[in-house]
Amino acid sequence: MTAGFLIAAPASGSGKSMITTGLMAVFAEEIKVQGFKVGPDFIDPMYHRAASGRPSYNLDPWMLTPAQNWQTYNGYAQLADLCITEGVMGLFDATGADPLENSTAGIARLLGLPVILVVDCTRMSGSAAALIHGFHTWSPEIRLSGVICNRVASVRHERLLREAVEQTGVPIVGMVPNQKDLVIPSRHLGLFTVTERESAVAEYIAALKPVIRAGIDLPLLLQVGETAAPIPVSNPPQVIAVNDGPADTAPKEFPQSPRDNTITNRRKVRIGMAYDQAFCFYYESNLQLLREAGAELVLFSPMTEEKLPDDLQMLILGGGYPELYAQHLAENHSMLESIRAFAAQRQPIYAECGGLIYLTEGIHSEDGVLHPLTGILPGVCHMQKKLIMGYRTIRALYENWLFPPETAFRGHEFHYSVWENPRPEGAFLETRSARTDEPPAVNGYAKNNILASYVHIHFAQNPLLAQNFIRKAQETL
């Protein structure tokens, strides 16, 4: 039987990422731990993977249907002894008025997971109990099975918290002291990624583990996990060997989800995938679905390598922070020329967010300097202070190799840059915000087998997505 629980919090910034990462690292020393992340987050799953040694998968209550979320969770849960799911924002924070729809709480209800609430107890004692009582009683459909008091200031503070919280009837699973030195560093763009500071992340996790062992009742937490809804037995997914890149960037083993492979009769295609400090935002489910459909993903670095790998049928340029490494990218002239030559042959290229930036004529950094890039797309990008973020419904306006026209898909945007496109006739996507009061927009770029937009897409929402990648790549063989 696979145990499982969900780590949630009253609000962002409570410390759930630190607690989740630490718990994964400690439990993974003895058992197989599978991580999941609620919401459209790329960085937390990187820390999950560094801690557990296994890829972490996104569950998304807005981009994916309940059945798709359940299928993702169930498929990988079968391969582990313990599943730890990290929530997003506050437990009941949703995109609409219903706190159990499109929220962390909704995922907990769907999967039958007990919830562990991480509470930032800074400058609180008895009031923490009132907050916990509210979360405990707000919805009878959510099992609040334990609380971890985080950022406890002293022995006296801990005593006051225990005396108050015990009155709520919610078990205290842990008391974690304030760890100013163990906060994952962040900036206006979000947390630093693992690819940007691999050695520092290893040191961070090593320092975090004794704090977790000392502050959290691990046997009690496992007992809570054993109350999770049982995982239905189905055909277990295989564990397949992967040789997609250097040993320090590619997993040695990768769990394969239990899905039908609809493209089995033709030769595998080699798809180049940008992966380095500038490009590292990929949903693990997307990569696995591409592999299952018939892709060999070949990692390459636009920052450090001189040219594309040989014999590629397609390129994927994912999101990341190219704006932070614009000078390095601009100075790698041979790689820029290699990608221009690939595009000139009308080979298919798919780019999301940071990948779109890389395909433009360049990006103006915050200090106003223009860093020339591939120039495959017209116009340049500019950094701004305003964050563009939110879920999007997208619809293709005309025929292209990936999105069937008039078929709606869902995605997410998160960027500070804007693209000034002097020739907007290439725009092919209509995007609508999940907020109904915002008008639709037309954006993206589709021309000569290149598809690019700011929207990140979760492929698990429709089997056509991964399959269409492979079909298009196979046309070039």
pLDDT tens per residue, range 124-168: 999 999 999 999 999 999 999 999 999 999 999 999 999 999 999
Q: What is the mean pLDDT of the chain?
A: 90
Higher pLDDT among residues 192 and 322, named by residue: 322
Catalytically annotated residues:
353
28-52 average pLDDT score: 96
Question: Model-level pTM?
Answer: 0.91
> For 46-55, 152-161, 360-369, 390-399, which range has the lowest pLDDT when averaged over its residues?
360-369
Residue 189, helix vs strand vs coil:
coil
Strands 408-420, 456-457: pairing kind: antiparallel
114-123 average pLDDT score: 97
**For residue 366, what pLDDT band results from cuts at 50, 70 and 90?**
confident
HSE-CB for 215 with a 13 A CA cutoff:
25
Q: Which of 69, 146, 145, 72 is nearest to 110 (CA)?
A: 69
Task: Please say whether the beta carbons of 388 and 406 come within 8 A.
Answer: no
**For residue 108, what pLDDT band results from cuts at 50, 70 and 90?**
very high
pLDDT value of position 245: 35
**For residue 215, what pLDDT band results from cuts at 50, 70 and 90?**
very high
Does position 334 have pLDDT exceeding 90, yes or no?
yes
pLDDT value of position 259: 35
Residue 459 and residue 283: Cα distance in Å, rounded? Answer: 9
Residue 206, helix vs strand vs coil:
helix
Sheet holding 269-274, edge to edge: 295-300, 269-274, 314-317, 349-352, 450-453, 445-447
H-assigned helices in 78-197? 104-111, 126-138, 155-165
pLDDT value of position 365: 84
- Tokens, residue 384: 């701004």
